[in-house]
Amino acid sequence: MAKLKPPISNKDHIQGNPEASVELVEYGDYQCPYCGQAYPVIKSIQAKMGDKLKFVFRNFPLSEIHQRAAYAAVAAEAAGFQDKFWEMHDILFENQRNLQDEDLIKYAEQLNLNMKKFQEDFRNREYREKVESDFESGVRSGVNATPSFFINGAKYEGSLENMVHHLENLIYPSAKG
């Protein structure tokens, strides 16, 4: 079974309880329709499991088939510098069909980002390198499609529906039956 490389660190975007015993990592692509289908499921899992779950998103733009995915990922990273990564993450998934540069600027404006700083950061090599680093970690971890998930460091190979049950069993072991 493939393992997450590197493990979760302070370089990751973490949502939920950083001390939670159950970690869910998604390698995703903002333009991928399957990631778009997984997005509300992940939101539901997070709402249901609350502080018992740590969720991490790592960029894995499949740029050959999704030409705007890497740009969207850089926009999310640039928004993250202004502490709005998760807000941008959500807007991007909720607007997957609209990821042109002018759309990304509009979303940054909606988030009340410092636009001068956002546009500088969007062009900054550091943010592209973060996206590339996430992608490379995915390759090292055995990711070959999006979305790909890791639960407590191990690659999850089942369906989204079964993943929900698997996470519930980890969080609420007495529910096994």
Q: 31-40, 69-78, 133-142, 156-165 — which is least confidently predicted?
A: 156-165
SS3 of 91, please? helix
* Overall pTM surpassing 0.85 (yes/no): yes
Spans of all domains in the chain: 13-175
Which CATH class name applies to 13-175? alpha beta
pLDDT at residue 177 in the model = 47
Q: State how far the alpha carbon of 60 is from the alpha carbons of 7, 133, 139, in Å.
A: 16, 9, 9
Terminus-to-terminus CA distance in the chain, angstroms? 25
d(CA 22, CA 162): 16
Kindly state the average pLDDT of the residues 114-140.
95
Given a cut of 90, whether residue 145 has pLDDT beyond it is yes
pLDDT tens digits, 5-50: 999 999 999 999 999 989 999 999 999 999 999 999 999 999 999 9
**Which candidate, 108, 107, 128, places its Cα nearest to that of 117?**
108
d(CA 140, CA 166): 24
pLDDT at residue 95 in the model = 98
